[in-house]
C-alpha cells in the first residue's frame, strides 16, 4: 500500500526547477503512485525537468511577477487541493515554501510539519522525520489529520534522480485573488555579487566564525578557500554581526552543506551551525577552546589560534 | 503608531535540551527566557515607534503555565505592556494552533504593525508569523532585514538567497524580522525596575473564545510516534597546535586528495 498522489510545490527560475525541488520529486516518487507539481509562476519552463523527475502533471498559475508569492500561491493551491485531493503536499524549507505552506495551512485548517529530512509511509499515514538538538536525535511525526499532509523538507535530505521520463503536461490553474492579504509587492531586486564555487555544491567549504575576532580576518578564510578551490561560508554569529552576507551562512537558518571536506575556522559548533554541516564527509576544525562542541564532530581537530594556524597553512599551500 | 511584537519565551538555549519521554514535548522545567530571535523584533518596534514620533509597543506571548520571565525582559527594553495567553490546555500546541491563539489575542488590539522573529530558537518552524497574518487576513512580509514605515505603507528589505528585495505593502501588516537586523538594547537598571510594574494581562482560552480542542495535542492532529538517537559522528583526532598544526592539516588534505 502506498500513497496515491503527492503534490510538490515546485520552485525555480528561468533555468528550471531548483535542486531542492528535484530532491522532493524523487522522495515523493518513492512514496506515491502519482506525483504532480505545482508552480506558482510559469510552469512551462520547468515541465521538461519536472517530467524527467517523475511529474505526471505540472499545474501552473502563470506569471505572478511583482508580487510576494506566498499568499497568491496558497490561494491557488487551495483550489487545486480541493479539486484534486492529493494525500500530501511537499514543500522545500525555503522562504516562499514556508510562506505558502503557512498561508495554506490557515486556509484549509490543516497542520504543517517543518524541517524534515525524511518521509515514509507507515500504517496508512505519512510519517516525517525531523532532526532535533543539533541533529543528535530524530523525531518521527505521524500525520493524524483528516486532509492532506503538509510537510516541509530541508535541502539535501534526498538525492535527486531522474526517471528518464519525458516532459510533463502543463495544466493552467486559475489565479485566485486573496484580497488585501495579497497586497505586498516587490518593487526592486538586489543581487549580491558572487564569484567562485557556490556553497550549495562545492566539494570543499571553508567557514569562519566568531573566533576570527574581527571582520578583516575573514579575508584569510577567502584566501584559504581560494587555494583549496573551495566555497567560503560563515557561522550565524558573524553574519548577524554584519561581517559577511547572509548568502554565506551555514546552519539551521542558512544553507545546509554536505561537501567532501568542511573546514571550520574559529567556529565553536553551536547547534545552529552543526545542523548545517555535520553531514559533511570529512571535517577539519580549528578552534582555541578545547571544549568546543565542533571537536565532537571533527575528523581532525586542531586546538589552536586561527590567526597562527591559518596563515601558516596558507603559506604552506602557496609554497607547494 | 501601535506596534505589537510576538515574543516567545523559551528554555535557555545554552542548556542542553531534552524531550519529556512521556509526552515527547520539549522539557520546559527551567525558567523561560526571552528568545533572542524576538529581541530583534522588540528593538525594531521600539525604533519604529521612535521614528514615527510616538506610539507604543505591546507584546503578545503564549505559554502554558503563566510564565512571564521573558516578557519582563522585553518590557525592560521599553515595551509598554503585554498580553500573555496562558492555559494548561496549550501544552503540545503546534504552529497552527499557536497562530490561532496569538491572532485571537491580537485581533482585540488593532495594531498598525505586527512584528515577529522569522523563527524561534527552539522550535524554528518559521511558519507562525505568516500563519498569524493569514488568520488576520492581513498582508505580510517575511525575512525583513530593514523596515521603514511611511504613512500607511511599510517598506521592507526582504532577505533572499541572492541578496535582498524591496517589498512594500499597506498597513496594518505583519513583518517577520531576521536576527541581526538591529542591535537589541540591554535593559537599563531603570528599565528593569519599571518593567516590574508594567501591566501583563493574562488571558485564558475562554476569554479568547477558543475551544480547547483547537489547540494542544488534539488541535495539532499529529503525533510523535518515536524518537531515535541519530548516528553519532565519531570524533577524530584532536591535536594541540605546537606551531606545526598546519603540517597535520596538509597531510590530511593529501589523504583526502583535496591537494
DSSP secondary structure of B121-180: SSS----HHHHHHHHTT--EEEEEEEEEEETTEEEEEEE-SSEEEEEEEESSEEEEE-TT
pLDDT of residue B231: 83
Q: Is B257 on the interface with A (CB under 8 A)?
A: no
Query: What number of C-beta contacts closer than 8 Å exist between A and B?
Result: 259
Across the interface, do A106 and B160 touch by the CB < 8 Å criterion? no
Q: What is the CATH number of domain A204-318?
A: 3.40.50.1220
Q: Is A75 on the interface with B (CB under 8 A)?
A: no
Q: Higher-confidence residue: B215 or B30? A: B215
C-alpha distances in Å from residue B167, one per residue of A11, A16, A62, B35, B160: 20, 24, 21, 26, 11
Across the interface, do A181 and B248 touch by the CB < 8 Å criterion? no
Of B19, B164, B245, the CB nearest to A302: B245
Chain A residues within an 8 Å CB radius of B99: 102, 106
Instruction: Please tell me the pTM assigned to this model.
Output: 0.91
Reply yes or no on whether the pLDDT at A204 is more than 90: yes
How far, in Å, CA of B154 to CA of B38, rounded?
19
Task: Quick: pLDDT tens for A223-263.
Answer: 999 999 999 999 999 998 989 988 899 998 889 999 999 99
| Structural contact between residues B145 and B163, judged by C-beta atoms closer than 8 angstroms | no
ipTM: 0.93
pLDDT of residue A2: 72
Architecture of domain A3-183: 3-Layer(aba) Sandwich (3.40)
Q: State the smallest CA–CA distance between residue B190 and chain A in angstroms.
A: 27
pLDDT bin (cut points 50, 70, 90) of residue B181 is confident
- The domain locations on chain A are 3-183, 204-318
Reply yes or no on whether the pLDDT at B13 is more than 90: no
pLDDT of residue A271: 85
Mean of the pLDDT values across residues A19-42? 96
pLDDT of residue B29: 73
Reply yes or no on whether the pLDDT at A194 is more than 80: no
Q: Is B21 helix (H, G, I), strand (E, B) or coil?
A: coil
A204-318 shares the fold of A3-183: yes
Give per-residue burial for B91-104: e unless 16+ CB within 10 Å, then b.
bbbbbbbbbbbbbb
Give the number of other CB atoms < 10 A from CB of residue A71: 30
pLDDT of residue A187: 96
Q: Is B119 on the interface with A (CB under 8 A)?
A: yes
Reply yes or no on whether the pLDDT at A1 is more than 70: no
Task: Quick: pLDDT tens for A275-285.
Answer: 899 999 999 99
Q: Is B159 on the interface with A (CB under 8 A)?
A: yes
pLDDT of residue B221: 96
Q: Is B163 on the interface with A (CB under 8 A)?
A: yes
pLDDT of residue A260: 96
pLDDT of residue A140: 97
- The domain locations on chain B are 2-219
pLDDT bin (cut points 50, 70, 90) of residue B258 is very high
* Count, residues in chain A: 320
pLDDT of residue B243: 94
Give the H/E segment covering residue B46: helix B36-51
Query: In Å, how far from its chain's centre is CA A293?
Result: 24
Q: Is B108 helix (H, G, I), strand (E, B) or coil?
A: coil
- Domain B2-219 sits in which CATH superfamily? HUPs (3.40.50.620)
Q: Is A172 on the interface with B (CB under 8 A)?
A: no
Chain A residues within an 8 Å CB radius of B147: none
Amino acid at each position: 500500500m502506498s500513497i496515491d498522489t503527492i503534490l510538490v510545490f515546485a520552485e525555480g527560475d528561468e533555468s528550471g526547477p531548483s535542486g531542492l525541488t528535484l530532491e522532493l520529486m524523487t522522495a515523493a516518487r518513492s512514496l506515491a503512485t502519482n506525483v504532480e507539481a505545482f508552480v506558482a509562476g510559469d510552469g512551462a519552463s520547468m515541465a521538461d525537468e519536472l517530467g524527467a523527475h517523475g511529474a505526471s502533471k505540472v499545474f501552473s498559475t502563470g506569471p505572478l511577477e511583482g508580487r510576494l508569492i506566498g499568499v497568491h500561491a496558497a490561494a491557488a493551491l487551495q483550489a487545486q487541493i480541493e479539486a484534486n485531493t492529493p494525500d500530501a503536499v511537499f514543500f522545500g524549507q525555503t522562504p516562499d515554501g514556508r510562506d505558502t505552506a503557512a498561508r495554506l495551512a490557515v486556509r484549509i485548517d490543516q497542520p504543517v510539519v517543518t524541517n524534515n529530512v525524511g518521509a515514509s509511509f507507515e500504517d496508512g499515514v505519512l510519517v516525517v522525520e525531523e532532526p532535533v538538538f543539533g541533529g543528535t536525535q530524530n523525531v518521527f511525526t505521524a500525520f493524524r489529520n483528516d486532509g492532506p499532509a503538509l510537510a516541509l523538507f530541508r535541502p539535501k535530505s534526498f538525492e535527486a534522480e531522474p526517471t528518464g521520463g519525458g516532459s510533463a503536461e502543463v495544466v493552467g490553474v486559475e489565479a485566485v485573488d486573496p484580497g488585501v492579504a495579497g497586497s505586498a509587492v516587490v518593487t526592486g531586486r538586489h543581487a549580491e555579487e558572487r564569484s567562485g564555487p557556490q556553497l550549495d555544491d562545492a566539494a570543499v567549504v571553508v567557514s569562519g566564525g566568531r573566533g576570527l575576532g574581527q571582520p578583516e580576518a575573514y579575508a584569510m578564510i577567502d584566501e584559504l578557500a581560494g587555494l583549496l578551490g573551495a566555497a567560503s561560508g560563515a557561522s550565524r554569529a558573524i553574519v548577524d554581526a554584519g561581517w559577511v552576507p547572509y548568502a554565506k551562512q551555514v546552519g539551521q537558518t542558512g544553507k545546509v552543506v554536505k561537501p567532501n571536506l568542511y573546514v571550520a575556522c574559529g567556529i565553536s559548533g553551536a547547534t545552529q551551525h552543526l545542523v548545517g554541516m555535520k553531514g559533511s564527509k570529512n571535517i577539519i576544525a580549528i578552534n582555541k577552546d578545547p571544549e568546543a562542541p565542533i571537536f565532537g564532530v571533527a575528523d581532525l581537530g586542531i586546538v589552536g589560534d586561527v590567526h597562527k594556524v591559518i596563515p601558516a597553512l596558507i603559506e604552506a599551500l602557496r609554497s607547494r | 503608531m501601535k506596534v505589537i511584537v510576538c515574543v516567545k519565551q523559551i528554555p535557555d538555549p545554552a542548556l542542553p535540551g531534552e524531550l519529556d519521554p512521556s509526552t515527547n514535548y520539549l522539557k520546559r522545567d527551567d525558567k523561560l527566557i526571552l528568545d533572542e530571535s524576538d529581541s530583534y523584533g522588540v528593538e525594531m518596534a521600539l525604533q519604529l515607534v521612535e521614528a514615527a514620533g510616538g506610539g507604543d509597543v505591546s507584546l503578545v506571548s503564549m505559554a502554558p503555565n503563566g510564565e512571564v520571565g521573558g516578557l519582563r525582559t522585553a518590557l525592560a527594553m521599553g515595551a509598554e505592556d503585554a498580553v500573555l495567553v496562558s492555559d494548561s490546555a496549550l501544552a503540545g500546541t503546534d504552529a497552527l494552533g499557536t497562530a490561532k491563539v496569538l491572532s485571537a489575542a491580537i485581533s482585540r488590539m488593532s495594531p498598525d504593525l505586527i512584528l515577529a522573529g522569522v523563527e524561534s530558537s527552539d522550535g524554528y518552524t518559521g511558519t507562525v508569523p505568516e500563519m498569524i497574518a493569514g488568520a488576520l487576513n492581513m498582508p505580510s512580509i517575511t525575512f525583513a532585514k530593514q523596515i521603514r514605515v511611511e504613512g500607511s505603507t511599510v517598506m521592507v528589505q526582504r532577505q533572499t538567497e541572492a541578496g535582498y528585495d524591496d517589498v512594500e505593502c499597506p498597513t496594518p501588516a505583519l513583518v517577520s524580522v531576521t536576527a541581526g537586523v538591529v542591535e537589541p538594547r540591554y535593559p537599563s537598571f531603570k528599565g528593569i525596575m519599571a518593567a516590574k510594574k508594567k501591566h501583563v494581562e493574562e488571558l485564558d482560552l475562554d476569554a479568547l473564545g477558543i475551544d480547547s480542542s483547537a489547540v494542544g495535542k488534539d488541535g495539532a492532529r499529529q503525533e510523535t510516534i518515536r524518537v531515535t538517537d541519530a548516528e553519532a559522528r565519531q570524533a577524530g583526532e584532536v591535536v594541540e597546535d605546537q606551531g606545526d598544526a598546519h603540517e597535520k592539516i596538509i597531510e590530511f588534505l593529501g589523504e583526502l586528495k583535496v591537494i
